[in-house]
Amino acid sequence: KNQVEQSPQSLIILEGKNCTLQCNYTVSPFSNLRWYKQDTGRGPVSLTIMTFSENTKSNGRYTATLDADTKQSSLHITASQLSDSASYICVVSGLSGGYNKLIFGAGTRLAVHP
């Protein structure tokens, strides 16, 4: 069964600290992996997208890694800010029936405290 598991479910860190969020998936065949940021009461917004051949991609203070062999991805946030408080969703795209099917993780809820 195609699944995307994220950990931890929730995380609290102090402003200025770094953190790493994890995503494990069993989606096969794999097409690409995306990370989205979802602020409370808003829709998700794309942070990064990585294909099979990419193992790291950065977007400002956000750096995503991908290990396609172990089917794991991480999102590292550097020097956290209060505005980083949000849910972070891992989404894996796999080919199913000839089209890309998106499997969404349940998300990690991050709270950055002053």
Contacts with other proteins, residue ranges (CB under 8 A): 4, 32, 34, 41-46, 49, 89, 91, 93, 102-107
Inter-residue contact 21 to 74 (CB < 8 Å): yes
Our CB check for other proteins shows the closer of 80 and 93 to be 93
**Nearest approach, Cβ of 18 to other proteins (angstroms)?**
26
Name residue 81's amino acid.
Answer: Q
Our CB check for other proteins shows the closer of 26 and 78 to be 26
**Alpha-carbon distance values, 23 to 15, 41, 61, 65, 86 (Å):** 23, 23, 18, 10, 16
Our CB check for other proteins shows the closer of 46 and 55 to be 46
**Nearest approach, Cβ of 34 to other proteins (angstroms)?**
8
By CB atoms closer than 10 A (0-12, 13-18, 19+), residue 73 is buried
Our CB check for other proteins shows the closer of 31 and 78 to be 31
Inter-residue contact 103 to 25 (CB < 8 Å): yes
**Nearest approach, Cβ of 83 to other proteins (angstroms)?**
18
